[in-house]
Structure 1
Amino acid sequence: MLKRLLAFTILMLGLATAIFFTQKWYLESIEETLSYSINAIYLFHFLAYIVIVLSVELLSKRLPDQVGYFYLASVFVKIGLFVLVFKDTLFADSPMNFLERISIVIPFFMFLVFEAIYCGRLMNAVDNESKSEG
């Protein structure tokens, strides 16, 4: 469990860091300033990733058949928390331009894909273990 979680998180962290710095470099190169902190958005998604994969990992030991449902519910909770935490940014009086909108969407989908891959591999591993036992 710990080895899989640590290896995947290190890989994810490396890729996320590369995308984060590429995104910041691009915004600086075109002299675009965002009306919000991109650091805070990446930090939120990383913390949500840690909570989700740890929860799914622990749940897979107790209720392996419910992991997929839990992951689906956790994505909706994550979206709700994101909207709650960043409501001032998302619902500001002035509309966001394209770069501001895409700068929110990139980390959201990137971490969503990482979480989905991790949970999918975990469910396959749990399924393979249960088949080999039975």
Structure 2
Amino acid sequence: MIKSLLIYVVSFAALFFVVLHLQHWLLEANNQSVRFSYYDTNIFFAVASALICIHLQLFSSIKSLQPQLGYIYLPTLFIKGGLFFFSFQDAVFALENLTVSERLCLLSSLLIFLLLEVFFVIKILKQNTPKILS
């Protein structure tokens, strides 16, 4: 279990640095800027997704929770959205109109970290799915 937890942390940290530098490079190359800290939004998405995967892995070790893991995961998407709103209410949601580059920064970060999160969640759920005998 420690190995899988370490894999989650390293994977999300590596993806964070790749996404951060890629966004920085693209913004510089296109002479664009964003009015919020994309470092902070990226760190939020990386940490939130990593914590979801870590908690789901820990819950999977509890025998009574194994059949409920999918139901445990579903509300985390709404919780993450709510926490993002409250965390960045002044920085992002106070802006009247977001530019295309600002929207792309937020959406690309959200989708990239969500893809890795879903990849790990599927692996966790597959490990804990009972095998049906045919």
TM-score between the two structures when normalised by the length of structure 2? 0.86
Q: What is the CA–CA distance in structure 1 between the aligned matches of 2:95 and 2:87, rounded to whole Å?
A: 17
Unaligned stretches of 5+ residues in structure 2: none
Deviation digits for residues 34-83 of structure 1 (CA, Å, limit 9, x no counterpart):
10000000111121122211110111122111111111111110011001
User: Is 1:47 the counterpart of 2:40 in the alignment?
Assistant: no
Alignment of 1:86-101 (within 5 A): 86-101=88-103
1:84, distance to aligned residue in structure 2 (A): 1.0
2:56 maps to which residue? 56
2:35 maps to which residue? 35
Greater CA drift, 86-95 or 96-105: 86-95
2:6 maps to which residue? 6
1:118, distance to aligned residue in structure 2 (A): 0.5
Greater CA drift, 27-36 or 89-98: 89-98
1:79 maps to which residue? 81
Paired residue secondary structure (1:87) = coil
Which amino acid is 2:112 matched to? M
Which amino acid is 1:89 matched to? A
Q: What is the CA–CA distance in structure 2 between the aligned matches of 1:80 and 1:15, rounded to whole Å?
A: 23
| 2:68 equivalent among 66, 69, 72 | 66
User: Is 1:24 the counterpart of 2:18 in the alignment?
Assistant: no
Name the structure with the higher helix share: 1
* Identity across the alignment (%): 28
The number of residue pairs the alignment matches comes to: 130
Paired residue secondary structure (2:72) = helix
The runs of at least 4 consecutive aligned structure 1 residues that moved more than 6 Å come to none
Which amino acid is 2:80 matched to? K
- Contact 2:16-2:43 at 8 Å conserved across structures: no
Paired residue secondary structure (2:97) = coil
Q: What is the CA–CA distance in structure 2 between the aligned matches of 1:31 and 1:13, rounded to whole Å?
A: 27
Paired residue secondary structure (2:131) = helix
1:15, distance to aligned residue in structure 2 (A): 3.4
